[in-house]
């Protein structure tokens, strides 16, 4: 693993993880305990998660962008025994989140201030008790969400490793593979599709990028002889534009595969990847809940440019249904339901939500609208869930609405996606102000930042309206309201 100037061998990673496991254990962290982990793309990240895996404690994978609102919720919802974070990242002092976290202990990679230094925990691993078995929970991953509070996704060691191994094979990883981790390593794509874990499984080399911009990434690809990397569509576009506008093209000759996923990649952008970057494109349509689809390395261009791939496993069941859960004709657009060997059957401690998010026979309702082609490939056509996909970052409309509703000048609010040429979608808040009050975008944005909401969830646009549409029967549901407002916005 390469982290800036630092290289970590497999043997060193193993040793560091075991010693850190001993350290966590001495602190009293036990099997099944939750530990919220929020670290940027650094080698320590892997010391921490492998250490927790070894004990059988469950990391909760927070993103570096999360702030007090999210971290506080993750810690309280999971009764976390510890919060592991960094000192300062991208100008933000993460130690200030300790209060919101309210965990018994905050552990800091780097300068710990008044907290516990991660570096002080590494200890003699000789007394470590046995680890968990393969069928036990490994961690809690975050759901993109479509309701008020983020749901947690319980993945087991064996289901996850199955998807990681199969993904590594599909993506042709070998000990010669060099993977550049650009997106946050905590994200399911970067972690497992095939991601860092897939590369470690194959015995390859992982290069960690602190930032995803072309000025950071393109030289890294050249110097480290990167063979494969994974990005969201806006980043692919940014890199393509950067490379095309350079007088002297960077040396990208080592790059064999660019994986693009997390949001729909337009076929025009898709068609530029191979000519501009000189590598193969792979579309990846995945979800932290499980199911991951890939175009295959030897698929014809028609498939690679126009579809979001097919499932990892022959045992991934795909159902495409109408609003009444009846199967649509093959090739028609419908709701994607899925069940399979590495797809969860329920969110963590969310019985009520699980009754709507899963069918009685255990299919996960993805909220995605797809076509299932006769050749088995899926094409994502849209979304039925109340989520905004802002360049791959998922925002639950209701979560942002609930924060805005606490503002004294806000009478009512609906948060919807608006199309955007670069990010695919941005967020627009339709607000009905309280009588006699005025609201402005800068004011609402500052308010949400103060409440500790992650920046990517803060609306890009504001539309002040007198009232929301109502029907003859009275007020329409928020879901219909959002749909109506989306139509107004697009029209």
Binding site for ligand J2J (CB under 6 A): 144, 188-189, 192-193, 261-264, 283-288, 292, 308, 366, 368, 380, 383, 389, 394
| Minimal distance, residue 153 CB to ligand J2J, in Å | 8
**212 contacts 206 by C-beta, under 8 angstroms:** no
Q: Any idea how long the chain is?
A: 491
Whose Cβ is closer to ligand J2J: residue 72's or residue 290's? 290
| Minimal distance, residue 265 CB to ligand J2J, in Å | 6
DSSP state of 327: B
| Minimal distance, residue 367 CB to ligand J2J, in Å | 6
Whose Cβ is closer to ligand J2J: residue 399's or residue 412's? 399
Share of the chain residues as helix, strand and coil, in percent rounded to the nearest 5: 35, 30, 40
Question: What secondary structure, in 3-state letters, does 31-85 show?
Answer: CCCEEEECCCCCHHHHHHHHHHHHHCCEEEECCCCCCHHHHHHHHHHHCCCEEEE
Region of residue 157 (phi > 0: left; psi between -120 and 50: alpha; otherwise: beta): alpha
Residue whose C-beta lies closest to ligand J2J: 286
| Minimal distance, residue 39 CB to ligand J2J, in Å | 18
| Minimal distance, residue 424 CB to ligand J2J, in Å | 9
Task: List the beta bridge partners of residue 476.
Answer: none
| Minimal distance, residue 365 CB to ligand J2J, in Å | 10
Burial of 141 (0-12, 13-18, 19+ CB in 10 A): buried
Whose Cβ is closer to ligand J2J: residue 109's or residue 236's? 236
Backbone angles phi, psi at 370, to 5 degrees: -135, 165
| Minimal distance, residue 368 CB to ligand J2J, in Å | 5
Region of residue 106 (phi > 0: left; psi between -120 and 50: alpha; otherwise: beta): beta
| Minimal distance, residue 19 CB to ligand J2J, in Å | 30
**172 contacts 295 by C-beta, under 8 angstroms:** no
| Selection from 29, 217, 236 nearest residue 128 by Cα | 29
| Minimal distance, residue 322 CB to ligand J2J, in Å | 19
Whose Cβ is closer to ligand J2J: residue 42's or residue 167's? 167
Whose Cβ is closer to ligand J2J: residue 8's or residue 388's? 388
Whose Cβ is closer to ligand J2J: residue 106's or residue 343's? 343
Whose Cβ is closer to ligand J2J: residue 106's or residue 190's? 190
**482 contacts 386 by C-beta, under 8 angstroms:** yes
**In the block, which residue shows the tokens 């390395």?**
297
Whose Cβ is closer to ligand J2J: residue 23's or residue 309's? 309
Region of residue 86 (phi > 0: left; psi between -120 and 50: alpha; otherwise: beta): beta
Do strands 364-372 and 378-383 pair parallel, antiparallel, or not at all (unpaired)? antiparallel
**In the block, which residue shows the tokens 């590369």?**
199
| Minimal distance, residue 264 CB to ligand J2J, in Å | 4
H or E segment to which residue 402 belongs: helix 397-404
Whose Cβ is closer to ligand J2J: residue 7's or residue 301's? 301
**In the block, which residue shows the tokens 């404690």?**
57
Whose Cβ is closer to ligand J2J: residue 285's or residue 358's? 285
């Amino acid at each position: 693993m390469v982290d800036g100037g630092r290289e970590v061998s497999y043997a060193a990673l193993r040793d560091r993880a075991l010693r850190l496991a001993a350290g966590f254990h001495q602190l009293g962290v036990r099997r099944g305990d939750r530990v919220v982990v929020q670290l940027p793309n650094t080698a320590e990240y892997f010391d921490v998660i492998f250490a927790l895996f070894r004990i059988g404690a469950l990391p909760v994978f927070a993103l570096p962008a999360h702030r007090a609102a999210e971290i506080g919720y993750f810690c309280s919802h999971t009764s976390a025994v510890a919060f592991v974070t960094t000192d300062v990242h991208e100008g933000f002092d993460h130690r200030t989140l300790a209060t919101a976290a309210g965990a018994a202990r905050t552990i800091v990679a780097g300068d710990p201030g008044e907290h516990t230094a991660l570096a002080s925990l590494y200890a003699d691993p000789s007394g470590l008790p046995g680890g968990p078995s393969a069928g036990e929970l490994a961690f809690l991953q975050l759901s993109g969400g479509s309701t008020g509070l983020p749901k947690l996704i319980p993945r087991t060691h064996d289901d996850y490793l199955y998807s990681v191994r199969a993904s590594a094979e599909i993506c042709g990883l070998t000990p010669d593979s060099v993977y550049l981790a650009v997106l946050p390593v905590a994200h399911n794509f970067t972690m497992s599709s095939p991601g860092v874990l897939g590369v470690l499984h194959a015995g390859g080399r992982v290069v960690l990028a602190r930032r995803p911009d072309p000025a950071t990434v393109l030289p890294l690809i050249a110097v480290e002889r990167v063979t494969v990397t994974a990005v969201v569509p806006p980043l692919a576009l940014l890199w393509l534009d950067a490379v095309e506008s350079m007088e002297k093209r960077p040396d990208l000759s080592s790059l064999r595969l660019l994986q693009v996923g997390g949001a729909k990649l337009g076929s025009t952008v898709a068609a530029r990847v191979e000519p501009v970057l000189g590598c193969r494109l792979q579309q990846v349509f995945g979800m932290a809940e499980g199911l991951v689809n890939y175009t295959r390395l030897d698929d014809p261009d028609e498939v690679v440019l126009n579809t979001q791939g097919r499932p990892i496993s022959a045992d991934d069941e795909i159902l495409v249904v109408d609003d009444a859960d009846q199967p649509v004709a093959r090739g028609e657009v419908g709701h994607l339901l899925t069940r399979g060997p590495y797809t969860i059957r329920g969110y963590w401690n969310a019985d009520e939500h699980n009754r709507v998010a899963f069918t009685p026979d255990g299919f996960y309702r993805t909220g995605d609208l797809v076509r299932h082609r006769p050749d088995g490939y899926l094409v994502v056509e849209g979304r039925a869930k109340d989520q905004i996909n802002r360049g791959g970052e998922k925002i639950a409309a209701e979560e942002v609405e609930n924060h805005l509703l606490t503002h004294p000048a806000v009478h009512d609010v609906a948060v919807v996606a608006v199309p955007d040429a670069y990010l695919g979608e941005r967020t627009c808040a339709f607000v009905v102000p309280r009588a006699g009050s005025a609201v402005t975008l800068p004011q609402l944005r500052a308010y949400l930042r103060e409440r500790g909401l992650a920046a990517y969830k803060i609306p890009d646009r504001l539309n002040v309206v007198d009232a929301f549409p109502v029907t003859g029967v009275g007020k329409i549901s928020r879901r219909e309201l959002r749909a109506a407002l989306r139509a107004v916005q697009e029209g």
